[in-house]
Amino acid sequence: MLASQKLRQLLKSQEILVIPGVYDCLGAKIAEQHGFEVIATSGFGIAASTLGLPDYGFLTATEALYTVGRIAKSVKIPLIADMDTGYGNVLNVIRTVEEAAQLGVAGVILEDQECPKKCGHFEGKRVIPMTEHAGKIRAAVSARGDSELVIIARTDARAMLGLDEAINRGRAYVQAGADVLFVEAPQSVEELKIIASAFPDTPLVANVVEGGKTPQLSAAELQELGFKIVFFPLSTLLAVTKIMDICLRQLKEEGSTANLTDLVGFKEFQELIGVPKFLEIERRYI
């Protein structure tokens, strides 16, 4: 079964999908090990980890797809890829979607910001005309062919044009063929309720960024409101950054990590990345 087909089955289930954001293969494998059914890449995380830059549109389509393809191949669970604006106009969207499908990606997120874009929880965002992004969604639906790639339409209009305009755009994008709708950065529980009531028949995304603009509700609370997916796009990135900072500070100050207790054991890490399996394969041919 294709990864996209697995994702479509999960979207029909009764339970909300709790989806962690990952930015490399290691994080993807850990998420899979802990039983997550779906993972998603974060453009924010990939930009930070591969370029050391903020989510300000620096990441190119080539860089994003290179990382996304390797993550998709490293696990057996579906991967949703943050493809930003599609990296240009409808022609760029078509190429991006075609390549994502070829890489085995299960779904893509396409947003209506101007290119270059910014993180959805940053200030200073700007959006393209609604009709232009609706055209991009139609192009994405056509470009996926028979891959069954799930198209997630995202609007960032709430910040600069208000919630009513974000909802109007959401309706246009669903009409254009989007499978899932993602209204980015609602700023209160009441706004989350309004979004859910406006789209009772469309799978909806909530995006929980620690310290971001949207209230940090639990998955159960969001399901009660009517949401089908909740992304935690930066949780792993922020956690890894914290422990890495602690580790390197101690190493610099003490010249040793002997007293650092919160480390994965070397043997445990080898098992996670498959060393025993590859040793066994190697022995077959010696």
Q: How far apart are CA 106 and CA 2, in angstroms?
A: 8
Angular region, 87: left φ>0, alpha ψ -120 to 50, beta rest: left
Per-residue pLDDT, averaged over 80-108, amounts to 97
Q: Which residues of 180-213 are buried (b: 16+ CB within 10 A; e: fewer)?
A: bbbbbbbeeeebbebbbebbeebbbbbbbbeebb
pLDDT band at 72 (very low <50, low <70, confident <90, very high): very high
pLDDT of residue 125: 85
Q: How far apart are CA 184 and CA 133, in angstroms?
A: 15
Per-residue pLDDT, averaged over 86-98, amounts to 97
Residue labelled with tokens 């609602």: 186
Tokens representing 70 are 């390797």
Per-residue pLDDT, averaged over 8-26, amounts to 97
Q: Write down the mean pLDDT value for the chain.
A: 95
Q: Is the pLDDT of residue 244 over 80?
A: yes
Q: Among candidates 43, 69, 78, 85, which has minimal Cα distance to 209?
A: 43
3-state secondary structure of 231: strand
Residue labelled with tokens 């890489």: 103
Taking only the tens place, the pLDDT of each residue in 136-149 is 999 999 999 999 99
Domains and CATH numbers, the chain: 3-241 (3.20.20.60)
Find the helix packing angle between 25-33 and 235-254, rounded to 10°.
Answer: 110
Q: Is the pLDDT of residue 105 over 90?
A: yes
pLDDT band at 1 (very low <50, low <70, confident <90, very high): confident
pLDDT of residue 124: 77
Taking only the tens place, the pLDDT of each residue in 164-175 is 999 999 999 999
pLDDT of residue 115: 84
- What DSSP element (H or E) covers 32? helix 25-33
Cβ neighbours for 68, distance < 8 A, ≥ 6 positions apart: 41, 46, 79, 81, 100, 103, 105
Q: Is the pLDDT of residue 118 over 80?
A: no
Residue labelled with tokens 């620096």: 58
pLDDT of residue 117: 82
Residue 139 identity (one-letter amino acid): A
Per-residue pLDDT, averaged over 238-242, amounts to 96
Determine what percent of the chain is predicted with pLDDT higher than 70: 100
